[in-house]
Amino acid sequence: MYNNKELKSYYSLSKEQISFFQINKFIKLKNVFSKETINYYNEVISKTVDSLSKNKRPLNQRDTYGKAFLQLMNLWRENDQVKEFVFSKRLARIASNLMGITGVRMYHDQALFKEAGGGITPWHADQYYWPFESDKTITAWIPLQETPLEMGPLEFSSGSHKIKEGRDLAISDDSEKIIHERLRVTDFDHIVQKFDIGEISFHSGWVFHRAGANKTNNARKVMTVIYMDHKMKLKKPENEGQENDWNTWCPNAIVGEVINTHLNPVLYKE
């Protein structure tokens, strides 16, 4: 029987790591979970994704977004073992400490499975889609296997949260082209590195990121958890994506008030 104590234990962050995140708005952390933990939840999450996945069309019949990955959200509501992983206090405490706040809520989770031969994930900033009053958001990107460059690991434009251009673009061919051109003339470092098993990245809602194509014969399986400040308030949506996210991930939340719905439990609080 698998022992899930690791999910509840603390991961020690250094002052240098927290400072790095505050400056660059992303960080990669090694050995957040053991190989045994990742392998166990790889199997659990993969079975859940397989049972729920409805996109069976061949890759050559999909648009750029559809080629990028199979995307399934709020798996924590579908499977109790996935829930124990997504609700991990170890992860939630890292998210809270990196942002320098006193606690985090669940926004939603999502499995992002880039199939063998799957295409790029275009440049984008996640918070384009989120109806939040502040930038106190963070995503844990958790590869469920070792992820070499040819498999399409997450890439970051370090410190790019500082620029406003591109924030109004949904993920698309246009966002890939326009944001690439904007970032090309900046001094921001483009960080693309492999992920070891158990290595996890955390990135802010406004930092620009992308992923390359999966050139291997195996799926690139990733689980993500999106956290927000436990005091986060809902803002009036500014686009269709934010309107949809309000109705889907924080239903019945009220503009100007803390997002405290049954889908947004507090996962860590000091």
| CATH code, domain carrying 162 | 2.60.120.620
**156 has pLDDT over 50:** yes
| Phi, psi of 267, deg, nearest 5 | -100, -20
> Is residue 6 included in any domain, yes or no?
no
Is 179 in contact with 124 (CB distance < 8 Å)? yes
**pLDDT for res 172:** 79
What does the radius of gyration of the chain's CA atoms come to, in whole angstroms?
Answer: 17
**60 has pLDDT over 70:** no
The tokens for 262 are 């049954």
> Is residue 1 included in any domain, yes or no?
no
> Is residue 270 included in any domain, yes or no?
no
**64 has pLDDT over 70:** no
pLDDT band at 70 (very low <50, low <70, confident <90, very high): confident
> Is residue 225 included in any domain, yes or no?
yes
> Is residue 2 included in any domain, yes or no?
no
Tally of domains in the chain: 1
> Is residue 110 included in any domain, yes or no?
yes
**252 has pLDDT over 50:** yes
Region class of 130: left (phi > 0), else alpha (psi between -120 and 50), else beta:
beta
From the list 107, 86, 248, 121, the residue with the least C-alpha distance to 192 is 121
**pLDDT for res 67:** 45
Is 121 in contact with 110 (CB distance < 8 Å)? no
Is 25 in contact with 159 (CB distance < 8 Å)? yes
> Is residue 5 included in any domain, yes or no?
no
> Is residue 4 included in any domain, yes or no?
no
Cα distance between residue 68 and residue 170, in whole Å? 14
105-124 mean pLDDT: 94
